[in-house]
Every structure is written in C-alpha cells, then in structure tokens.
C-alpha cells in the first residue's frame, strides 16, 4: 500500500457543527502532516506529528484540533469553524521528519 | 526558509521537452532543492530533489547551477498528464524546520496537444 487516503472527499458544515477529517497511511511512515490550501494558493502547513507526538503547530486557531491515535492514523477535529476556513485540507506522511512527503487527495471543506 | 522565484506560468507542446526554471539566490549550503507538482484536483506529488549535482529519475531531471543560485526542472517529453503547478522548494535539513515544506506560488504548466 503506497498511498495516503483521506475521508471524506467533500464536507459541508455549518458554523456550529463538529466534524472530523481522517487521514490514513499504511507505509510505516512515522511523520504525518496537515496542510490547508485555499483556492489558487499554495498549500500551507498547519500541523506536524512526529512519532505520534505533535511537533509543530503553525499557530493554528484552536477550532482546529489534530489527533494522532496511532502511527497510521491522523485526524483533524473541526469545531465552530468560520466561512473563511473553507479550503482543501491535505494530509501528508513521510518515513521520518525531513523525508519526502507523500500527499493524500485532500478533503474539500465548505463552511456555511 | 530561503525564498524561491518561479515564473507564474509556462506553456509547452506535447512530446516536447520542458525546462522549468527556479531562482534561489539566497540558498544556503545546507538547503536541498526539492520539486513537487500538483495536478488538478489532486494533492502535491514529489518529483525530484538534489543538493549540488544534477539528478535524474523516471519522472524528470534536475539541473543545478554551479553556484546553486538557480536550478531547472526538465521534463524530457511533456505529456498532457504533466499539466500541473510545479513548486520549487528549498529545505534545510540541519535544523528543526526540516519538517516543513514551504510552498511558493509555483509555475502553472500548460501542455498543448
């Protein structure tokens, strides 16, 4: 298995909803990442997990809450989002920190 | 992270070579040059990386200037499937920031049939 999977592919949520994005890889990678990409802009790093511990938080608002339950799984919990949070959320993984990153197809989120 | 400069867009014809330039005049000695690309409606995809010497793989070649202030990604025979945004990224692997990929604006490559 050489891919990063993300679910759901699309998500529409209201500003009072709570939802979660899921990312999974079975390549034995020990670093996992969340990126946010607005339309026609480059991806921007949000969080990095290394060996299941949060190692980088790029000053992301607390309405985004990451979780790494095990080395294969990465979640992003969403609560009280704003319309400007609508974006493509990309997950990536790498063998270790600093190694080549492999990206999933992303979850396209729309906040109403 | 050191800054890179790429043209906003480039056009190519199918089955012709494509040379995508990247300037990185403030590159440090420990910066690797990475290229990723993002096809429409997909996540970014690793293409190639190098430090000082030219590099080849099944996808592309990377030519690095002797002074390392610029590099060129070479697609030897462009296909329609190569139409994407190509990102040139510098990564310093000596410090704590080595986890990061800091994407610039990239070059939008259009391939004409």
- Nearest-Cα distance to chain A for B113, in Å, is 24
Distance CA B88, CA B19 (A): 13
Residues 6+ apart with CB under 8 A from B109: B9, B10, B11, B12, B18, B20, B78, B82, B83, B84, B85, B86
Which of B43, B87, B91 is nearest residue A90 as measured by Cβ atoms?
Answer: B43
Q: What is the pLDDT of residues B3-58, one digit of tens each?
A: 899 999 999 999 999 999 999 999 988 889 999 999 998 999 999 999 999 999 99
Q: What's the gap in Å between the CA of A16 and the closest CA on chain B?
A: 28
Which tens digit of pLDDT belongs to each residue from A18-73?
Answer: 999 999 999 999 999 999 999 999 999 999 999 999 998 999 999 999 999 999 99
Instruction: Closest CB to B101: pick one of A101, A104, A106.
Output: A101
pLDDT at A94: 94
Strands A10-13 and A107-111, by their bridges, are parallel
Flag if B99 and A55 touch (Cβ within 8 Å).
Answer: yes
């Amino acid at each position: 298995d050489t891919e990063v999977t993300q679910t759901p592919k699309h998500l529409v949520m209201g500003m009072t909803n709570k939802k979660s994005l899921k990312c999974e890889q079975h390549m034995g990678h020990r670093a996992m990442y969340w990126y946010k990409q607005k339309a026609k802009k480059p991806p921007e790093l949000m969080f990095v997990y290394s060996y299941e511990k949060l190692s980088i938080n790029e000053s992301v608002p607390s309405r985004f809450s990451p979780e790494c339950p095990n080395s294969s799984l990465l979640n992003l919990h969403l609560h009280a989002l704003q319309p400007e949070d609508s974006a493509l959320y990309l997950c990536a993984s790498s063998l270790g920190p600093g190694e080549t990153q492999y990206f999933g197809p992303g979850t396209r989120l729309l906040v109403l | 992270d050191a800054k890179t400069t790429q043209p906003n867009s480039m056009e190519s014809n199918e089955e012709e070579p494509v040379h995508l330039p990247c300037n990185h005049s403030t590159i440090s000695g420990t910066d690797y040059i990475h290229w990723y690309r993002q096809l429409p409606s997909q996540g970014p995809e690793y293409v190639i990386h190098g430090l000082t010497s030219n590099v080849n793989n099944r996808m592309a070649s990377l030519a690095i200037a002797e002074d390392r202030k610029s590099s060129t990604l070479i697609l030897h025979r462009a296909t329609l499937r190569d139409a994407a945004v190509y990102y040139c990224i510098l990564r310093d692997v000596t410090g704590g920031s080595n986890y990061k990929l800091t994407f610039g604006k990239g070059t939008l490559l259009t391939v004409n049939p």
